[in-house]
A and B are shown apart, each in its own frame.
Chain A
Amino acid sequence: MIYTMVFPILFPIIAGFFLLVMKEPENRKILTGMTGAALLISGGSIVYALLSVEGEAVILFHLTSALPIYLKPDKLGLLFAAVMTIVWVLAGFFSFSYMKPRHEEPRYSGREKGEKRFYGFYLMVFGILTGLNFAGNLITFYLFYELMTLLSMPLVIHTRSREAVMAALKYLFYSFSGAYMVLFGLYFLYRFGNTLTFTAGGVLDKNMVAGNESLLLVTAFFMIIGFGVKAGMFPLHAWLPTAHPVAPAPASALLSAVIVKGGVLGMIRVVYYMFGADFLRGTWVQKAWLTLTLVTVFMGSMLAYREKVLKKRLAYSTVSQVSYILFGLALLEPAALEGGILHVVFHAFIKCALFLIAGAVIHKTGRERADELTGIGKEMPVTMWCFVFLSLALTGIPPTSGFISKWYFILGALHSETGIFSWLGPVVLLVSALLTAGYLLPIAIKGFFPGEDYKYQDIEYHDIEYHDISYQDILYSEKSAGNGKKKFLAEEIPIVILTVLAVGLGIWPNPLIEYISGIVSFIL
């Protein structure tokens, strides 16, 4: 059993490490082939693990005698692992096309070297994330959480421009601050708890806690803020809109769709498995947490609405959407928690697909700003149709998936006894939904209906100057049309699959809902 659990963690890490130290292969296909194979093997091993390891536990080694590094995948961890695997493999295949250098010109030769490094870290983070999902106690979780920050940093920094370096540093400092707040809480849990193993309902020792409630509440608040850094929660969200967009599109997709969920998982673990929902219900911590999430929801949507660059807009949208999830968690109420976990799944698919679309558009046309996408529907019809569906799903229009999670949020909020929040929450969510529609749908509308004055040819030349790509470059890709077509097909397939998942899960959500109800009834 130990191998079933350890293999999906170690294999991608070793494969990634091998890619990093390996000599540059002469043919790019060898590189993508190896990465693809490694992705598929890891994905397969996770699927195998999903089917067989639930409830198993294994101690890898002891950090100190009281702190074992311990894997124990439960239903929640397995769900996260499944979602992350789907997203990771699909975005990986997207990146093979996206990262392809356009020419064999010398000035692009440096890019290939970066490509190997990109895949190397890409695989390593995959392994780390599996470890994060399988972690059975807080110290193991923390270990993988730190490693996740460190190893995903090279993905942010990939282009090595000054902007990217500054963004990566910002990412690191915010993350380290957050991680330290978590560690700060860990020390207290270590003292006041029976164990650091995740236990549904909490681990606090009643006798020890007596008299120290306020201290522990402060600790809980720190841990929530600490994990909130990764999840982009106000007030420590500022790294997210800086760091996500500077990464290459597949990496920003993963950062936004998956890495932020590491923070969400951390909050679920801490609140529901370490402190216990009962300990926090009705306290100032819950109220403060709810306030912060609602502020973030509104602020994120508002900033996304005002933002012009598409990838940045999507990053702000992540800020807002992940706080929907956190709002669900903060209500400490079964239906809302169920909505939160559902939204983890849905948002992962939707946001990943949206970022991939942004990447595909940049890759094909070089356009980055939302207002430049006028008329794009004719150039990239499949991609833009997906964009339409995804926008609807993120806004939460039935029968797409986003509607279901929001339904549960609002249901949970109305049932919860949180005073003002039980009605203020739904109001903010609805306003934010309007804003979501406001920042996504116009792109789709303008894309398909550019207006009668619009001339499709004009924009082409405008872009060429704007992005300093020589006209020959474009000609070249036009000429090799056969090659070009295949390339964009390779980018479309992952997007289409993710869109189908995002919409399909809204139409047939029952198996997923039942699975999550199982988790929720177990921990609440």
Chain B
Amino acid sequence: MPGQMSFVQNFPCFSIILCMFIGIISSAFKEKIARWLNIIALVVNIVLSAAVLLYTVRTGESYVYVMGRFPAPWGNELRVGMLETGLALFFCVIMLFCLLGGRHKLVQEVEEGKQGLYYVLADLMLSSLLALIYTNDLFTAYVFVEINTISACGLIMIRQNGRTIEAAVRYMIMSLLGSGLFLVGICMLYDLTGHLLMSNIKIEIARIVAEGAYRPPLLVTIAIISVGLAIKSALFPFHAWLPDAYGYSTVSSAAILSSLVSKGYIFLLFKIIYRVIGFEVFHDSKIVDILFLFGLMGMVFGSLSAIKENDIRRMIAFSSVAQVGYIYMGIGMGTQAGMVASVFHVVSHVATKSLLFISAIGLTDVSGGSRKFIELTGSGYRNKCAGVAFSVGSLSMVGVPMFSGFVSKLLFSQAAVQNDGKMLPTLIVLGISTILNAIYFMKTVIRIYTPVEEGEYPTVEWWSNKIYASVLLCFVVLNILLGVCSQPIVDLIESGLNIFA
């Protein structure tokens, strides 16, 4: 009822539009103003999302926001619950940290006059992420998927050198393949059900399944959409675009891409599972098992590639493949507990991976800009702040208690022991992956703390770059908080998932 609508309910729509507009306006301004506008957009978004989060937690249920008051099935809708606002808040915070933490590198690496453009792209990226999180309409989702792809390409390519252009082209091709598949999937769904709004599709699909009609097309649709989104989020066999894109772009881009962009697509997949296809239908299709298998393979092969890597940035990038594998494994378990674990791992991986990328740049900076391990020897002493932060990130990745990674492993395993069929493969692969993670992360930590002859590279004081150091501090605190008091977040995720469908 429009009259009873609380003002807070408008905020999600505001924040999406605000980001778009700030992006458009910034392109007319100078770099400095664009940067400040970007920060303002992020802070305002954080405040708005926090307000909506409070509101949804208080009411305990999700609400549908009808854009322009055109009622379903014609109008466009946003749907907002705790999970959506929680993630939106979290993504905004992380994006702010990533941009602040990589700012000094941006100034060095991106040519003068194009830095303003960077913030335009970041604003667009943020608005598309928020839209993906909030939208209740499949076609809107598709539009923002494309906006997301284009701004991601820009973020990769803005540091102009051969590798990034190649990486961006590669990303573009793979990504377009993914969104193409997604589009085909949407078309087929539209064909099957005659709707584009998620809730309506779900009702129709429930009817179709009950009648037993259109089984093969439905299965194909589910498969196509899953694969499309899997390509975009770099699930194992489709991850070839990832290492270059994360490895060579400027550090803020790498952090944003690895932690946020792929998670946006994963969240869209969650949404499609719960809200479009229906959890039961999705579970009954065999696609779940395939995602599970790919997830497990990703966990092992991603880590193996990371072990072979001799370049710290690419190593962290390959570790993302393994971590995305964890998330898909959780989805593939096909249980509520598995989903909770997956969502928590999204949160935990976002916090950890961006920390790793941002701290790695501090280490390479004091090693003459080289990312090869041999040059990084002893860099933990030269930039103590980055060294400590990198170690914390590594410990979290390995899954040492007190850090966020441990809690997500715990949740995955708890989900696994309740699922008799997939219990053993999950636990065994979790074990293998833990050890592989330990191999390459601890190897790196030991490497950066191995002393070398002094004087070769400059030493940086703890607080020499205050913004960078405080960003790292925030990340470290965030990781430990997630590891120590995870229960409120897990509760939030559970109740969010309950009202998600």
For the complex, give the distance between the alpha carbons of A184 and B410 in Å: 10
Which of A7-15, A71-79, A140-148, A497-505 lies on the face that meets chain B? A140-148
* Cβ of B425 to closest chain A Cβ, rounded Å: 13
A187 near B414 with CB under 8 A, answer yes
Write out, one digit per residue, whether chain B residues 413-451 have a CB within 8 A of any chain A CB (1) or not (0).
110111000000001001100110011001100100011
Q: Which residues of B contact A183 (CB under 8 A)?
A: 409, 413
A110 to B452, CA, bound (A): 11
Interface-lining segment among B11-19, B90-98, B397-405:
B397-405
CA of A434 to CA of B451 in the docked complex: distance in angstroms? 45
CA distance A142 to B413 in the complex (A): 15
- Which residues A52-66 have CB closer than 8 A to chain B? 61-65
Which residues of chain B are within 8 angstroms of A456 by Cβ–Cβ distance?
A: none
Chain A proximity of B380: nearest CB distance (Å): 12
Contact across chains for B418 and A191 when beta carbons are under 8 A apart:
yes
Contact call B486/A63, Cβ cutoff below 8 A: yes
Q: Specify the main secondary structure of chain A where it touches its partner.
A: helix
Using a CB-CB cutoff of 8 Å, which residues 262-296 of chain B contact chain A? none
| Chain B interface, >50% SS class | helix
Question: What CA separation (Å) do A177 and B451 show in the bound complex?
Answer: 28
Using CB atoms, name the residue of chain B closest to A65. B487
Q: Are B417 and A150 in contact (CB under 8 A)?
A: no
With A143-B401, A150-B400, A187-B414 as known contacts, state yes or no: A173 contacts B435, CB within 8 Å. yes
B450 CB to closest chain A CB, in angstroms?
6
Q: Are A110 and B451 within 8 A (Cβ)?
A: yes
Cα A65 to Cα B486 in complex, Å, equals 9
Contact with B along A132-154 (1 / 0, CB 8 A): 00000001001100110010000
Q: Which residues of B contact A139 (CB under 8 A)?
A: 401
**B435:A180 contact, CB within 8 angstroms:** yes
B143 touches A (CB below 8 Å) = no
A176 within 8 A of partner (CB):
yes
What is the interface size of chain A, counting residues whose CB is below 8 A from a CB of the partner? 30
A146 to B442, CA, bound (A): 14
Do residues B427 and A184 form an inter-chain contact, with CB atoms below 8 A? yes
Q: How far is the CA of A252 from the CA of B409 in the complex (A)?
A: 33
Given A63-B484, A63-B486, A169-B442, A177:B435 Cβ within 8 A: yes
Q: In the complex the two chains form, what is the Cα distance from A61 to B487 in whole Å?
A: 11
Q: Which of B368-417 contact A (CB under 8 A)?
A: 395, 398, 400-402, 407, 409-410, 413-414, 416-417
Contact B416 A187 (CB under 8 A): yes
Residue in B398, B401, B414 whose beta carbon sits within 8 Å of that of A190 in the complex: B414
Q: Determine if A62 and B487 form an interchain contact, defined as CB atoms under 8 angstroms apart.
A: yes
Check if A61 sits within 8 Å of B417, measured CB to CB.
Answer: no
User: Which chain B residue has the least Cβ–Cβ distance from A176?
Assistant: B438
Contact across chains for B450 and A160 when beta carbons are under 8 A apart = yes
User: Is A176 touching B398 in the complex (CB atoms < 8 A)?
Assistant: yes
Please tell me if B490 contacts chain A, counting CB pairs below 8 Å: yes
**B402: which of A143, A172, A184 is its contact (CB, 8 Å)?**
A143
Q: Smallest Cβ distance from A158 to chain B, in angstroms?
A: 11
Contact with B along A189-202 (1 / 0, CB 8 A): 01100000000000
Which residues of A sit under 8 angstroms from B401, Cβ to Cβ?
A: 63, 139, 142-143, 146-147
CA distance A64 to B413 in the complex (A): 14
Q: Which residue of B lies closest to A218 (CB)?
A: B424
Contact partners of B431 in chain A: CB under 8 A: 177, 180-181, 184
Query: Which residues from chain B contact A176 at a C-beta distance below 8 Å?
Result: 398, 434-435, 438
Q: Report how far A284 CA is from B434 CA in the complex, Å.
A: 29
Of all chain A residues, the one with the shortest Cβ separation from B388 is A21
Q: What is the distance, in angstroms, from A205's C-beta to the closest C-beta of chain B?
A: 14
> Which chain A residue shows the least CB distance to B484?
A61
Instruction: Tell me if B40 is interfacial: C-beta within 8 Å of chain A.
Output: no
Query: Quick one: which of A77-132 are within 8 Å of B by CB?
Result: 110
| B443 near A169: Cβ-Cβ < 8 Å | yes
Nearest residue, chain B, Cβ from A143: B401
Judging by beta carbons under 8 Å apart, are B438 and A173 in contact?
Answer: yes
Cα–Cα, bound, A63→B439 (Å):
26
B438's partner among A64, A172, A190 (CB-CB below 8 A) is: A172
* B477 at the A interface (CB under 8 A): no
Q: CB of B485 within 8 A of chain A?
A: yes
The answer, yes or no, to whether A423 is at the interface (CB within 8 Å) is: no
CB of A336, distance to nearest CB on chain B (Å): 32
In the complex, what residues of A have CB within 8 A of residue B486's CB?
63-64
* Closest Cβ–Cβ distance, residue B460 to chain A (whole Å): 16
Binding site for A on B (CB under 8 A): 395, 398, 400-402, 407, 409-410, 413-414, 416-418, 427, 430-431, 434-435, 438-439, 442-443, 446, 450-451, 484-487, 490-491
Instruction: List 7 A–B pairs whose Cβ atoms lie within 8 Å, in order of A's numbering.
Output: A61-B484, A62-B487, A63-B407, A63-B486, A172-B442, A177-B431, A184-B427
> Sorted from nearest, which 6 A-B pairs have the closest CB atoms?
A143-B401, A176-B438, A187-B413, A180-B431, A65-B487, A191-B417
